[in-house]
Every structure is written in structure tokens, then in C-alpha cells.
Structure 1
Amino acid sequence: MSTVFWHGTAEVPDGWGPSVVALGVFDGLHRGHQRVLDHAVRLGRERGAPVVLTTFDPHPATIAGRPRDTTPVATVEHRAELARRHGADQVLVLPFTECLARTSAEDFVDGVLRRTLDATAVVTGSNFRFGHRGAGDTALLRKLGPVSGFTAHALDLLPGCSSTLVRTLVTAGDLVGAAAILGRPHRVHGTVDGEIVTPCTTLLPPPGKYWARTPHGDRTVEVEAGLLLADLPDGPTAVDLVDAR
């Protein structure tokens, strides 16, 4: 099921805020990301302010930075659904374009955090970078916060908890290990046509048979030649891959 989110700053209602912002890529919304969001939710409840999880799509590394695997761990819709499940009141998805990649860190703070979201607190992971050439970091957020009206909070990362490791584990077929990091089974969204599921996400384990949870009950599915095969009714579906059979 899709979850409504703001797609770009133009969709944020005029006069929104003040709010607490959880800021990051959150490409898998794994347990480390959840820790950042949980802290933002606590601050929001203390301050009586709504919590806005702010993320980017596509992954910034598809446009800026060193080339690396950016295969989505979770669709934007799934991220928004999970964010709300973990306490976010709203989700803002910023389209990561060449224009945004060239935006200075200072302009990002002023335009998105201050003017659009009226942030009273901004919570990130300790390694978060933003702005042109990644010039913005948590130290800059702490510096700009007092003049922009927010406090900056940087949380240490959970050891061994990263989307990169999730990708590595799923593509190696270790779905149990990936689930331990995600805090849930790895989910593939797609559309069923016959027995072929055309994934919206392409992060699939190696060829083989897997035990899965589906909207139509638990069953065996198969990965073959980069395709997910499942005996399911035609139409959109979500398949949670649990373990190899």
C-alpha cells in the first residue's frame, strides 16, 4: 500500500511548522536509521512539534560522489510507510537532481530546513553530509542551527548497520543476516504478470528458492535469471523474502 508523502518542497503547505526534522538518505530505513528517527520522535513529542522525515530520491550517489552500488533497499513508498510506522508525522522526499547537487549546504539549510520546514530541531546520523560536494556536515548544522532557529543532533551509527551491508548480504543470499540489520525481512515490491514479478526494486538474492511472506500467505518463491517468480494473483504485490529453502 502506498503512503502519501510530500514530493519536493513545493508540496509542503505554506506556514508549515515548527517541526522536528529527521534528515538523511534513509535508503533502507534499517535499525540505524530507525535510531535517528526514534530520537527525532522523542524530541517532537517533548516539544509538541510534528516530526518530518526528510529523505532523497534517487540516492544522491547516483548523481554526486564516487560511483557505487545504489540499488534501492526499499522503495520510497515503503520508506514512507515505515517512517510513519516508527512515529514520523510527515515524510518529505526531495528529488535529488543536478540542481540540488549544486546547492550549497548553507542554501539547503536556509531553503529547506528554515524556510520550508521551520525546523526547531534537526536529527542526523553522525556521518551525514549534504550540500554541494558534500561540504555540509553535522558541525555545520551545529554552527548554523542557532541563527536558523534549530538545535542540531548527531547520533553515532550502530556498528555493523548499513544499507551497503544489507545489499551485500541480500545479493549473497543471506536474508537472515539482512533482516537482522533491517529489523524486518527484506521486501520486494513489484507487479505480478503470470508468475513473473517485475520488481520495482531490483535488489534480489542469487538464483534459488526462498521462503516468503506475501499478502496471500506464506509460500515458496524462486529467483531465476534476475527475475522473481511467484504463484500469486496478477497485480501489484509485496513479497517479504525470509530465508533460502
Structure 2
Amino acid sequence: MKIIENLRQYHDQTPLALSIGMFDGVHLGHQKIINQLNEISQKKKLESGLLTFWPHPRTIFSPGDDLKLLSTLEEKSYLLGKHGVQNLFLQEFDEDFRNLTGEEFIQQILKEKLNVKHLIIGHDHTFGKNKSGDFNLLQKMAPEMGFEVEQIEAVNFGEKHISSTQIRNALSSGKIKEANQMLDYHYSIAGKVIHGKKIGRTIGYPTANIEINSLKILPKKGAYIVDVYVKNEHYKGMLSIGTNPTVFGNTLSVEVYILDFDHDIYGEEISVNFRDFLHQEIKFEGLDHLIARLDEDKLLTSNFNF
């Protein structure tokens, strides 16, 4: 997949089948759009492309929201490439771009800059200043602009449409299995192993503290069954998100105990896939109670069907 980081310097007029959106998490709803994009591009002999924005527009419009994302730009790029997108266009959501009206966006970006011949958008997609662009405007202008447009219906999970927001809500509630089903893969985090307080090693449960990208959403505080990948090797693990209240901690940390593992991995990049929720964060009466619960969690993790 080609990644075009600066749209202003893109001057290729290769005809495109294109979709537009944040595609945070590249969930099942996004995958439905991408599958149709790939099918159309093959049928019409067009290159497939996706126009996305970085940073997320909500960080511009609502900077106080402290929005956390399902995927970093690197993770999103990997997932989109994995699903067969040929071109990824990154558009900075700067002042000039955010002030384009719907009509200007269609004329200047879709037609003149990207030479779009077929456009696919999601069921609720809007664009342009004050959300002045939508499917109706696209249908109206498409014949004049020389492209076809189609809108893809949402994918449902239960009674609700799958969306990045729904998945973030599921993670924030500790509903890991629901989030994974909507994503169609296991939610993951990755980062460098850093030094912590090393309390775990004194009770027989040494943990690797993971430095997490500040943009990534973390699931609800608590304990989880996880896959751990270290130097391309797979291990079972139990991960804790919390402040270690039993030992009067007050700083949020992400720590993973890796089963059947005894190596120094400080400074190594590791990744973790969430498989199941064990329990919420607990303040135990003492270390003996903590160890007893860790023993229970270890048994559950050992017996988990990975």
C-alpha cells in the first residue's frame, strides 16, 4: 500500500475508486466498505484509495474531549493494507481544509486532486464546513464531476450499528469480547517495556510495565487474559490496568505477567492482544489476599482456550 502523507504534493491523476473517513479501528463496518471498494476497483480497473484524516477532526473541534483512539496511525495503516487498500491519503485537518464547503471539497479534492471515478461512503458520512456535504449532495454533483457514488449500510451488532464509538464504549466497560466481535480481531496495545516499582517480583509475579501511546484507549481498569508477543514469540499473559491500590499506588500503569517466561526484556517492544476480562480493579486487604487472587487468575489464564 502506498501512503501519501501530503495531499498537496500529490499530482498523480490515476483514476480512483475511493472511500473517505477516519476508519478508526478498521472494524466490521469499515471492512464492509473496503470489501466493496476492492470489488469495484477490480471490476472497473481502478486503483483503490482511502482518504483519511490525521489528527482526528474531533481533536480540532473539541480539544477538551481528550479523545482516545482504537488505532494509532501506524496500526490503522497496517490494517488497511492488510485488507487490500492500494493507496492511503493522509489529509491534515488544518484551517484551509476544514473551511472547504461540501461543494468545494467535491470539486477541489475528489475531482481535481484525486480524479475519483467511483466513491463509496458510509451510511452516516458527512463532510465539508458545517457538515454541508452528504450523500444527497454527492448524488446531485456526481454526474457533473464524472464519478459514481454509493452509500454502504451499517453493520449491526445486536440492535446497534457497529461504530468506533460503540467499540470504545465496550472497551471502557470491560466488554472485551463484544469489542473484539465488532472489530473482528482482538483489540491490542503495544509499547516499550519500562522500569516500574518491581513489587510484583517480590511476590512471585514479576510484571512487564508497558509504555502506552497516549492516543490509545485503554480498556476499563482491571485484570485481563491476554496474548503476549515478545520478539515474535507468543505467550499467555494476565494484564493489569490500574493504580495498584493494594500497595497505595496512585499512577495508572499497564503491567503484564507473562506465563512460563523468565527473560530480561527491558527496552523491548511487546504487543498484547486482549482476550477476556477477569475482574475489575480490587484493593485487597493485604499482599496475601492479592497473591491468592493472582493464583486464581493464573489458573484461569492457563486453562483459557487461546
Q: Same fold (TM over 0.5)?
A: yes
Is the aligned partner of 1:23 residue 2:20? yes
Aligned length: 242
State the match for 2:276 in structure 1: 243
Q: Shift in Å at residue 233 of structure 1?
A: 4.8
Q: 1:4-23 to 2 correspondence within 5 Å?
A: 5-12=3-10, 14-23=11-20
Q: Secondary structure at the match of 1:122?
A: strand
Q: Shift in Å at residue 4 of structure 1?
A: 6.1
Q: Over aligned residues, Cα RMSD in angstroms?
A: 2.1
State the match for 1:166 in structure 2: 167
* In structure 1, C-alpha distance between the alignment counterparts of 2:63 and 2:147, rounded to whole Å: 31
Shift in alpha-carbon separation, 1:96–1:193, aligned structure 2, 3 A: same
State the match for 1:227 in structure 2: 253
Q: Shift in Å at residue 190 of structure 1?
A: 2.6
Instruction: In structure 1, give the amino acid aligned to 2:143.
Output: P
Percentage of matched positions with identical amino acids:
23
Instruction: In structure 2, give the amino acid aligned to 1:165.
Output: Q
Is the aligned partner of 1:206 residue 2:220? yes
Unpaired runs of at least 5, structure 2: 196-207, 244-251, 258-264, 279-306
Q: Shift in Å at residue 60 of structure 1?
A: 1.6
Q: Shift in Å at residue 148 of structure 1?
A: 1.5
Match of 1:105 among 82, 91, 102: 102
Contact 1:57 1:94 in 2 (8 A): yes
Q: Secondary structure at the match of 2:169?
A: helix
Q: Shift in Å at residue 196 of structure 1?
A: 2.3
Shift in alpha-carbon separation, 1:68–1:16, aligned structure 2, 3 A: same
Q: Secondary structure at the match of 1:96?
A: coil
* In structure 2, C-alpha distance between the alignment counterparts of 1:158 and 1:125, rounded to whole Å: 10
After superposition, what is the alpha-carbon deviation per residue over 1:50-103, rounded to whole angstroms, capped at 9, x for unaligned? 111111122222223797673111111111111111110111121122332211
> Which fold has the larger relative contact order, with Cα–Cα distance below 8 Å and residues 6 or more apart in sequence?
1
Contact 1:17 1:118 in 2 (8 A): yes
* In structure 2, C-alpha distance between the alignment counterparts of 1:133 and 1:66, rounded to whole Å: 17
Q: Secondary structure at the match of 2:61?
A: coil
* In structure 2, C-alpha distance between the alignment counterparts of 1:198 and 1:51, rounded to whole Å: 35
Instruction: In structure 1, give the amino acid aligned to 2:242.
Output: E
* In structure 2, C-alpha distance between the alignment counterparts of 1:101 and 1:143, rounded to whole Å: 22
Contact 1:64 1:133 in 2 (8 A): no
State the match for 2:185 in structure 1: 184
State the match for 1:39 in structure 2: 36
Contact 1:23 1:123 in 2 (8 A): yes
Runs of 4+ off more than 4 Å: 65-69
TM-score normalised by L of structure 1: 0.90
TM-score normalised by L of structure 2: 0.73
Instruction: In structure 2, give the amino acid aligned to 1:106.
Output: E
Please tell me whether Structure 1 or Structure 2 has the larger radius of gyration of its CA atoms. 2
Is the aligned partner of 1:119 residue 2:116? yes
Q: Shift in Å at residue 165 of structure 1?
A: 0.9
Shift in alpha-carbon separation, 1:214–1:50, aligned structure 2, 3 A: farther
Match of 2:229 among 212, 215, 237: 215
Shift in alpha-carbon separation, 1:187–1:162, aligned structure 2, 3 A: same
Shift in alpha-carbon separation, 1:65–1:101, aligned structure 2, 3 A: farther
Q: Secondary structure at the match of 1:142?
A: helix
